[in-house]
Amino acid sequence: MILSHDHLQHLLTLATEGIDVPEGTAAVIEGSIAEGFGNDSSDVDFLLLEAGDHDFPTMPTIVFVEGRRVEVRVRSVRQAEELARAVAGSARSGPRGVAGIPEDSLNRVQRLVRAVPLRNPSSLKAVRDILPEDELARIVVVWFRQRARQSARYATALAGLGAVDRAASWARTALIQGAKSWVAERGESYLERKWISQQLARVDGSAPVRRMLETAERSDLPPEQYVRHCVGSLPELGVDGAPLDPARVLLARVRGVTTWPLGRHLHLLRGQDVFTLNEKAAHVWRSLRFDTPLPEVVTGDAGEVIAEFLRVGLLRLRWRGGGLVRGYAVASPPPTARRPILSLHGAPVTEHDPFVTLVPLAARRFAEAGMSLVWANIMVENAREDAEGAARRRQWPVVETTSRRMFRQACLAVLSAFGVSPQPPAEESLDWLSRLPELPRPIAESARAVEFRVANADQAARLLTDLEDLVTAMRAAVGVELFPSSFASIAEWRSTLDIGYDWTRLGGYLNAAFPIQEAQDLIATAGRQPHGSGG
């Protein structure tokens, strides 16, 4: 060790001065210093093993002693023994059980089993009796070998998709994991990857492995050759089952990912996440073939799109004869900053947007806002018809009331497009527009300038003209320029039902709140009129 036993005892005494340590508590040094690695900047990691069965938190106490950062963790012997039994029990299930051991659990057990006792070593012996050092090393061998295999398979898939830079990164990970498995087979079971070079230096016959890593680290190989070098070296490290053959890779569905066309745009749901696809990605998604060798699926430039689907967890990979490809985490892209958030066709997207865009609304709120957007526009059309009829009959109070309803519903439609759900009362809809800084200022100013007093035909005509201009501008701002005149004809009403049906299907699937019961009835009638004979 880089620190002497006496110096460690000295640091332990100073580090635990402010900690209540029961009599008989064991103490060990673990981690890189216990393994014989480390340097002047390395943390000093002490673990105290209390004889009782208290559940201590995982988080360490941090102190600084004589210029060194010192971590002091406390566990009960029962906690340590239970963790060792859990790891040993998983290993008895075979390679699949080993592969399922969380890295944090294996790391904590490895650090404890390989720790150097400083006080009361009998407690450490009890843990080692459950999981002896040689058995632990065998577990680490299998654990790293499984991960190397999975990383190599993922690298193979990415290479087959043309994502060679990402493939190279995963191939390097596979090679390091393979080297960690190789050294663990020779007694070097420490999990931390950064010490692989020092571990290799302590193992006889490691020169070929060191050359493998040096070639990967220091050569200027193009990405394709780099992948071939890393993946092709794995059998020499004892890692099999991962040849660089994309034909062994099959696309697989992800449970819970569903497809939802909304108007012109295609959307995917994954739990409460909503993704919208640009036109190219939508075309690729619709043409996917599952359980088909990857080279037969990747046509044209579809590979980069499929690689993105994998990155965000909308697809999975299966290795022919080897189950799902695991070991890589999926991530969501950053939510789009575009405002408004949605239109009649779902989330706005253009050909210049990324293949996959995350909508900044939870799925249920997205559906509720979309249904409210449709409904508010229907109410605009309804109020317009009423106001125009009242104007023709010179019913000026009715013109005022219906015009105000038209105006408020137009405001609610704008709020819906910006993702406001649940919606405010109609009486407060104008005030809420001020909360939308992205709304063009002329629209907000025009909205506040509308005057609803009507006493003659000229005032009625002027009000209806002003409202028509304002509604047109509002709709243009949120992508609803071509909303049907719902109450003008049966064809226009049919178009309105078609728009609403996509949204209500999504709302029904998500058990969302419907604006009115009639909207929910659209699902039962499959978007048709309820009492018609066929359309």
Residues 173 and 230 in one domain: yes
Task: Give the residue carrying structure tokens 């020499």.
Answer: 236
Per-residue pLDDT tens digits for 360-405: 999 999 999 999 998 898 889 889 999 999 999 999 999 999 999 9
Mean pLDDT of 310-332: 91
| 344 and 392 co-located in one domain | no
Contact 253, 240 (CB under 8 A): no
Letter for the amino acid at 328? Y
Where a domain ends, among 307, 336, 358?
Answer: 358
Q: Is the pLDDT of residue 74 over 50?
A: yes
Q: Compute the distance between CA of residue 274 and CA of residue 63 in angstroms, rounded to an integer.
A: 45
Kindly report the backbone phi and psi dihedral angles of residue 46, in degrees, each rounded to the nearest multiple of 5, phi listed first. -100, 145
Bridge partners of residue 444, in order along the sequence: none
Q: Please check whether residue 529 lies inside any domain of the structure.
A: no
For the chain, give the mean pLDDT: 90
Q: Which of 101, 131, 161 is the last residue of a domain?
A: 131
User: Does 81 lie in the same domain as 9?
Assistant: yes
In a domain, 493, yes or no: yes
What's the pLDDT tens digit per position in 216-243?
777 788 999 999 999 999 999 999 999 9
Which CATH number fits the domain that encloses residue 190? Answer: 1.20.120.330
Q: Are residues 263 and 348 in the same domain?
A: yes
CA distance 450 to 433: 14
Would you say residue 531 lies in a domain?
Answer: no
Whether residue 231 lies inside any domain: the answer is: yes
Q: Which CATH number is 111's domain given?
A: 3.30.460.10
User: Residues 146, 61: one domain?
Assistant: no
* Distance from C-alpha of 103 to C-alpha of 190, rounded to nearest angstrom: 12
Phi, psi of 197 (to 5 degrees): -65, -40
Q: Which domain holds residue 71?
A: 5-131
Q: Indicate the helix (H) or strand (E) that contains 507.
A: helix 490-509
Q: What's the mean pLDDT in 458-469? A: 94
Q: What percent of the chain has pLDDT over 70?
A: 94
**Predicted confidence (pLDDT) at residue 153 exceeds the cutoff of 90:** yes
Q: Both 288 and 189 in a single domain? A: no
Mean predicted confidence (pLDDT) in 410-431: 93
Q: Do residues 150 and 270 share a domain?
A: no
Q: Give the pLDDT confidence score for residue 521 in this predicted structure.
A: 58
Residues 348 and 397 in one domain: no
Residues 383 and 504 grouped into a single domain = yes
Q: Per-residue pLDDT averaged across 70-98, rounded?
A: 93
Q: Please report the pLDDT score of residue 237 as a whole number.
A: 96
**Which neighbouring-strand residues pair with 147?**
none
Same-domain check for residues 177 and 87: no
pLDDT 10s digits, 105-125: 999 999 999 999 999 888 888
Does 186 reside within a domain?
Answer: yes
Per the structure, the count of domains in the chain is 4
Q: Is residue 199 part of a domain?
A: yes
Cβ partners under 8 Å of residue 266, min gap 6: 259, 260, 276, 277, 281, 282, 285, 286
**pLDDT band at 19; cut points 50, 70, 90:** confident
Mark whether 219 and 278 lie in a shared domain: no
Across residues 116-140, what is the average pLDDT? 92
pTM comes to: 0.86
Instruction: Indicate whether 329 and 368 sit together in one domain.
Output: no
Residue 117 forms part of a structural domain: yes
Q: Residue 138: which pLDDT band, with cuts at 50, 70 and 90?
A: very high
Choosing from 244, 274, 290, the residue where a domain stops is 244
Record the tokens describing residue 303, joined without a space: 């590979």
Residue 485 in contact with residue 499, Cβ under 8 Å?
A: no
Assign 534 a pLDDT band (cuts: 50, 70, 90).
very low
What's the CA gap between 411 and 467, in Å, rounded? Answer: 11
> CA nearest 30: which of 84, 109, 88, 123?
109
What 3-state class would DSSP assign to 61? Answer: strand
Label residue 524 by pLDDT band (50, 70, 90). very low
pLDDT confidence of residue 526:
47
What type of residue is 385?
A: E
Beta bridge partners of 28: 47, 117
Residue 416 main-chain phi, psi, to 5 deg: -60, -45
> Does any domain span residue 533?
no
